[in-house]
Amino acid sequence: MIEKLTDSSEISFAKSARRISFSAIQPSGAITLGNYLGAVRSWTDLQRTHSCIFAIADCHAVTVPKEPHYLRSSVRNLLATLLACGISPDESLLFLQSTVSHHTQLGWLLECNTQYGELRRMTQFKSKSQQNENFGVGLFTYPCLMAADILLYNTDDVPVGTDQTQHVEFARNVAQRFNSRFGETFKLPEPMFPKNGAKIMSLTDPSRKMSKSSDNSSSYILLCDHADLIVQKIKGAVTDSGNQIKYIEGKGGLNNLIVIYSCLSGLSFEQISFEFEGKGYGTFKSRLAEIIVSEFEPIQREYSRLIECADYLETCVRRGAESARKLAQPMLERAMYAMGYWVP
């Protein structure tokens, strides 16, 4: 099947009365169940209610060193993944951050309006810089670039997992400071979390968030994992020695599995308890693995098809860049003019 894209001018954000949402994801290998439930899945639903803008944050990706061939293939794979998950380039604006230089330009202006101490307090910077003493400066200024991403598009809502709360808060603060110094320029964005699944935890250490940067690959499920591997990882997920399927404060491992089940089945915690009454952890885990596999299998099939459509992916990138540049230009000029730049 040959994919066809609608003319990008048909995606008109300016004319729409809908709220504008912006979000982004880094290309760093296959996405996890955490990325999927905390962000990507809710992005597809948002397309019905919002004017959606989604970026592949490939400038953020190099704050941690990446081999060029790895970066190139990760970006391509992530693009095919997002499309396979249901992000529609006809309904939403989907683009690569690096193709719209306005992001790094506004990022610079925001860096010059940010205090050193403010960035030093960011928890993500503190934990990542502790892992490696020789980190690049980009890791430190990362929140300014992320703020630029959000502020360039007059964003109302930023759909993210809760691990991004501090970064969105920073974007609000820097916008507020800019507005009070240079005059009303930026809209103040609101973070938007999914009702359920805003923080999916590690399968092996439920006190930590599920993340593919973990050394233990059993701690996370990847969207591309084979069915048998998913079953194996869920079977091995840490729980206590009880046997009642019930969400109770303090039962981190079990609670995390119940949250995942709830996200994918649409059932409330109470309904899940009722469904598994008297059935034990083994039965629950088998059923959970099944619903993850049935959620992922159609996406994996669509991914395998799309990754072969080189021309289509190329067109998506080109069209996305053109549309995003058009949208970003007025806000960049406005911010530059406000600061005193000559904007011809």
Contacting residues toward ligand TYM, per CB under 6 A: 22-26, 34-35, 38-39, 57, 60, 146, 149-150, 158, 160-161, 163-164, 167, 198-200, 209-211
Nearer to ligand TYM, 159 or 312 (CB): 159
How near is the Cβ of 95 to ligand TYM at its closest, in Å?
Answer: 12
How near is the Cβ of 38 to ligand TYM at its closest, in Å?
Answer: 2
Phi, psi of 55 (to 5 degrees): -125, 150
Nearer to ligand TYM, 27 or 89 (CB): 27
How near is the Cβ of 128 to ligand TYM at its closest, in Å?
Answer: 10
Nearer to ligand TYM, 8 or 202 (CB): 202
Q: Copy the structure tokens of residue 281.
A: 């952890």
Task: From 154, 197, 174, 215, select the one nearest 22 (Cα to Cα).
Answer: 154
Is the four-CA dihedral 125, 130, 131, 134 of positive or negative sign? Answer: positive
Neighbours of 127 (CB within 10 A): 9
How near is the Cβ of 244 to ligand TYM at its closest, in Å?
Answer: 25
149: left (phi over 0), alpha (psi -120 to 50) or beta: alpha
Mind telling me the catalytic residues? 128, 209, 212
**Strand 190-192 vs strand 157-159: parallel, antiparallel, or unpaired?**
parallel
Q: Which residue of the chain is nearest ligand TYM when measured via CB? A: 38
- What is the C-alpha separation between 144 and 128, in angstroms, rounded? 16
Nearer to ligand TYM, 8 or 74 (CB): 74
Q: With contact defined as beta carbons under 8 Å apart, do 94 and 54 qualify? A: yes
How near is the Cβ of 135 to ligand TYM at its closest, in Å?
Answer: 15
Nearer to ligand TYM, 57 or 293 (CB): 57
* β-bridge mates for residue 151, sequence order: none
How near is the Cβ of 171 to ligand TYM at its closest, in Å?
Answer: 8
Is the four-CA dihedral 29, 35, 40, 43 of positive or negative sign? Answer: negative
How near is the Cβ of 55 to ligand TYM at its closest, in Å?
Answer: 7
- What is the C-alpha separation between 336 and 344, in angstroms, rounded? 11
- What is the C-alpha separation between 319 and 5, in angstroms, rounded? 9
Q: With contact defined as beta carbons under 8 Å apart, do 11 and 323 qualify? A: yes
Q: Copy the structure tokens of residue 210.
A: 């599920």
DSSP letter string over 13-68?
TTT--SPEEEEEE--SSSPBHHHIIIIIHHHHHHTTTSEEEEEE-HHHHTTS---H
Nearer to ligand TYM, 155 or 276 (CB): 155
Nearer to ligand TYM, 163 or 333 (CB): 163
